[in-house]
Structure 1
Amino acid sequence: MLILTPNLPDPDGFYDELLHAHTGLSKDQSDALNARLILVLANHIGDRAVLTAAFEAAK
């Protein structure tokens, strides 16, 4: 089941870390980082039903 309610203990800290990961990157490098991050997290989730629900929620 996809969790759509706030679920991070430190969402501001996470957002800061995400922004910091993109510091100094070009647009293409930033896009590539986002794509790799999506693939890493999708692999960690590993449940196609959850990932399909995430696609729908993101639309």
Structure 2
Amino acid sequence: MITWAFGFFIVAIIAALFGFGGIADAAAGIAQFLFWVFVILFIASLVLGLLTGRKIFK
């Protein structure tokens, strides 16, 4: 999912360089949304991993 966020970020930068403001704004918004979804899912999986007590490393 983080690769999708980076992909939309790159699209936003390229669109902004060529003057497509609407496309750049939309792509930047999607990238920001995907980034925060990634962060929330990461924190949730971290908390669930700590609560279940399963060891990842031996």
What TM-score results when the alignment is normalised by the length of structure 1? Answer: 0.38
Task: Name which structure has the greater RCO, CA cutoff 8 Å, separation 6+.
Answer: 1
Structure with the bigger percentage of helix: 2
Greater C-alpha radius of gyration: 2
What TM-score results when the alignment is normalised by the length of structure 2? Answer: 0.39
